[in-house]
Amino acid sequence: MKTVAFFDLDYTLLKASSSIAYTKAAIKQRRLPLWVAGQVAGLLATKRLGFVEAHQQLMSYIGRAGQADTARFCEAVVKQSLLPHLSIQGLARVKWHEQEGHQVVLLSASLEELVRPVANHLNIDYRATYFAKQHDRYTGELVGPACYQAGKIYWANHWCAEQGSQLADMVSYFYSDSSADLPLLELVQHPIAVNPSRKLKNIAAARGWQRVKW
C-alpha cells in the first residue's frame, strides 16, 4: 500500500509566514501600498474579509505586472526570507518519510508562486492556491478552490488522482499547526499537530493525536 505524507508550510515546515514575508517585500518594493496592506490586515483580523478575498485584493496590486514578473518576485522572497527559516526538525521528518519510501507533498494555502520554489528546493511535489492567468495576466479568479480548510481535501484528492489512486486507499499523514486544517487532519490516518495553535492543541489532546514541537 502506498504512503503519502502531506506537510503544511507556514509555521509547520516553515518557522515563518510566507504571506507576511511576501507582503512585507511587496511594500518595501512599492508593489503594494502600505495603506492597502493595513486595510486588508484589519479586515482579515475582524473577519470582515475572508482568506481568499484578502489574497485577491493583495494580488490585484502585487501581481499587476503579470505572472512572470510576480513569479520572479516571489522566488526572490523565498530565497531571501523563507528558505533560511525552514525547520531543521521538519526537514528531518521529510527525509525520514523519503527514506521509508513514502511520497511527500507540500500542501499549502499560500500562493503557488511562493510554494513552488520551496517545493523545488526540497525536490518534493506540492499543491497550493492557484490564481487563474490569461496572457500572463492574473484574472482575479482561482483555479479550483483555495488550498485552505476543506480546500486542502480537494487538492489532496487531486494529487492522489494524478497518482492513479485515492486517498482512502493510501496510508496517509498530515502535519499542520492550524485548526483551519481540521477537515484534512480528521480524514488522514495519521494526523500530527506541529507547534499547534491553542485550539488545535486542545483538539489533538482530546483525540489522542500526536503532537510535536519543532
Question: pLDDT digit string (tens) for 63-105?
Answer: 888 899 999 999 999 999 999 999 999 999 999 999 999 999 9
Quote the CATH superfamily of domain 3-212.
HAD superfamily/HAD-like (3.40.50.1000)
CA distance 147 to 34: 26
What's the confidence (pLDDT) of residue 59?
A: 87
What's the confidence (pLDDT) of residue 157?
A: 96
Alpha helix ranges (H) inside 100-208: 112-122, 151-162, 182-185, 198-207
pTM greater than the 0.85 cutoff:
yes
Least confident of 54-58, 74-78, 130-134, 208-212: 54-58
The pLDDT mean for the chain works out to 94
DSSP-assigned letter for residue 15: S
CA distance 195 to 186: 17
Check whether 49 has a pLDDT greater than 90: no
Domain range summary for the chain, segments of one domain joined by +: 3-212
Biggest alpha carbon distance in the chain?
52
Check whether 47 has a pLDDT greater than 90: no
198: pLDDT confidence band, cut at 50, 70 and 90? very high
115: pLDDT confidence band, cut at 50, 70 and 90? very high
Strand, helix or coil for residue 35: helix
